[in-house]
Structure 1
Amino acid sequence: MPTSRKNQKSTALVVATPATDDRIVAVIRSASAVARIAGSGGSIEQEDGTILVSDRPYITAGGLTIDAEEIYYRAEQRTSSARRLGEADKVSWLDPETQLECIMMRAGNGGFLGGYVGIPPSHPLYGFDRNAVPSEIDVHGGVSYSAACQATPSARPSLVAEANRICHPPVRPKRTRAPLDAAVHQPHRDAWWLGFTCDKVYDVILDDAGDRKRFLGAEIGGTYRDDDYVCREIEHLARQLKAIADGEPMPLRRGAPAPPLGLDAKRGA
């Protein structure tokens, strides 16, 4: 018996049209968000309110330019404070200095950002649980995430799923109008991801400003960790992971120091 229209799932999909600025503004409805997307070319797709801009550089609030493979804006984050700041909800890129895959991604619950770096099977820390990662790795709040590439839900994953997945971007022909399809999608299971999240006691969570558990935020200098801070932390983590793989000394920080781990009661002094 045919499925009635009212029982069918509605999926509004725009297949990889050229990513002109006018087009991005029309879809995202935010000039501040578009201000973070530089250059020209690339493509744009939309599915159920989730928007993907491919092959366009992303500029953080502090002016750091990321040669992004994918920039996502999620439907559920449309009304958040982060959207008013113009930040993306997920940015994926290959770090040119370390050749490691990197992801900045916003949590669906709370709206805080996190950063993730994928390492190959040849890396000494491949497969390490987050609690077994060497303590000399210096990153915001310490390494709090460790996992293999998250499984691809289907041969043709939705943009909504991809916007929430910590894994390599799907393989697509560069700067074309090719849709996300089984013919070009290659699932990856060979990376191990290490990461951090900015939801500690010394972090301000934009969508959780009234959380009484964070009453010490003002006393210890709590602040919102924006896309600039997080992307620089990601790059610093990538450089440290490369140094470990190469047997080299840990690199010096190039930006602001991370808060002392002792400020987080869950980790102890």
Structure 2
Amino acid sequence: MARKKTPPANKATTTALANITGSALVPLFGSERALTKMPGKDGAAVRDGDVTLVTGRPYATNDRVIPASEIFFVNGAKPNRDGPWIDEADKLSWVDDETGFECIMLRETGDGYLSGFVGVPRGHPLWGWNHEAIPTDLGIEVHGGLTYSRICDEGPEPTRRIAVEARRICHVPRVPYQFEPISHATDHRPEDAHVWWFGFDCNHLYDVIPGETRHGLRFLGAETGAEYRDDGYVVREVINLARQLRAIADREPVPERDGPPLPPIGLDPQRGG
């Protein structure tokens, strides 16, 4: 009896952004307005299942333009109801121009809130440190305090799995990934994946969580003036953190924060306040 043929695996499809207009934008980005956050005329979109990866375009928040390495949109990562999150990316990777550190903005799937991460290389004084062990007198100040410290997720792979990359906290390789299966083992040249990441999240008592009911207001949310921390807020906090970590590496005083005062950590009982 003849053997059944195995159906070919789904392949990621690449399309020039200039060729994507109108209603075709919605399944890719969730909103036609999302394209306005990626100014320019060049770039490409790679679609793999429910995930779209955009390269070759910057990313604009309400107060700055980021030279993005990668921009991800994930169907279902945020609620469909209207809100400031509807046009935002679900993952944004870039290199901070002042510090040279890798940076990530990442959305928590389901609840829809954003988190931020900065990767420091080997040789940084805090490489390998648990965030809870960092002395307070170093002066690190970020939204809600540090909540994450870990090496790169997994490691570099011979082929690109877009859906995995959309959730992975790891630096963008300097050599572009392949989107097709490799032919020989020597096609893959892994680079050092050992970046140590520090991160924070916007999932506190004083934060609006898009995925929760009543417009994300938690218990005492109204009393604490809870707000949704949008991409502009989170990107600014990531950059603040990167520059604080750079100052620590250079044995310099940490710079003054950019932006409004942080909510007091003591408002959040989960942080021991």
TM range (shorter): 0.7 to 0.9
Taking structure 2 as the reference length, the TM-score comes to 0.86
Taking structure 1 as the reference length, the TM-score comes to 0.87
CA–CA distance in 2 between the matches of 1:193 and 1:105? 13
- The answer on 1:35 being equivalent to 2:49 is no
Look up the match of 1:267.
271
Q: Could you tell me how far 1:4 is from its partner in structure 2?
A: 5.7
Q: One-letter code of the match for 1:116?
A: F
Q: Check conservation: 1:140, 1:196, Cα contact below 8 A.
A: yes
Q: Check conservation: 1:236, 1:253, Cα contact below 8 A.
A: yes
Look up the match of 1:120.
121
Higher mean C-alpha deviation, range 50-59 or range 209-218: 209-218
Look up the match of 1:206.
210
Q: Which one has the largest radius of gyration?
A: 2
Q: Deviations over 1:7-58 (max 9, x none)?
A: x8x635213x322263572633522111110122122100002001012100
Q: Check conservation: 2:111, 2:212, Cα contact below 8 A.
A: yes
Question: Secondary structure of 2:167's match?
Answer: coil
Look up the match of 1:252.
256
CA–CA distance in 1 between the matches of 2:257 and 2:33? 29
- Pick closer, same or farther for the CA change 1:129–1:211 going to 2, 3 Å: farther
Look up the match of 2:95.
94
Question: Secondary structure of 1:77's match?
Answer: coil
- Pick closer, same or farther for the CA change 1:96–1:184 going to 2, 3 Å: farther
Question: Secondary structure of 2:132's match?
Answer: helix
Higher mean C-alpha deviation, range 255-264 or range 88-97: 255-264
- Pick closer, same or farther for the CA change 1:208–1:153 going to 2, 3 Å: farther
Question: Secondary structure of 1:85's match?
Answer: coil
Look up the match of 2:75.
75
Q: Could you tell me how far 1:179 is from its partner in structure 2?
A: 3.6
Q: One-letter code of the match for 2:145?
A: G
Structure 2 segments unaligned to the other structure (5+ residues): none
CA–CA distance in 1 between the matches of 2:78 and 2:272? 36
Structure 1 segments unaligned to the other structure (5+ residues): none
Q: Could you tell me how far 1:85 is from its partner in structure 2?
A: 2.9
Higher mean C-alpha deviation, range 209-218 or range 34-43: 209-218
Q: How does 1:33-182 map to 2 (within 5 A)?
A: 33-60=34-61, 62-77=62-77, 79-81=79-81, 85-135=86-136, 136-152=139-155, 154-173=157-176, 179=179
- Pick closer, same or farther for the CA change 1:79–1:225 going to 2, 3 Å: closer
**After the TM superposition, which segments of 4 or more aligned residues of structure 1 sit over 6 Å from their partners?**
none
Identity percentage of aligned residues: 40
The aligned length equals: 261
Question: Secondary structure of 2:37's match?
Answer: coil
Question: Secondary structure of 1:76's match?
Answer: coil
CA–CA distance in 1 between the matches of 2:96 and 2:216? 38
What's the Cα RMSD here? 2.6
- Pick closer, same or farther for the CA change 1:116–1:91 going to 2, 3 Å: same
Q: Check conservation: 2:12, 2:46, Cα contact below 8 A.
A: yes
Look up the match of 2:226.
222
CA–CA distance in 1 between the matches of 2:168 and 2:59? 19
Q: How does 1:175-190 map to 2 (within 5 A)?
A: 179=179, 183=187, 186=190, 188-190=192-194
Q: Could you tell me how far 1:256 is from its partner in structure 2?
A: 1.2
- Pick closer, same or farther for the CA change 1:206–1:187 going to 2, 3 Å: farther
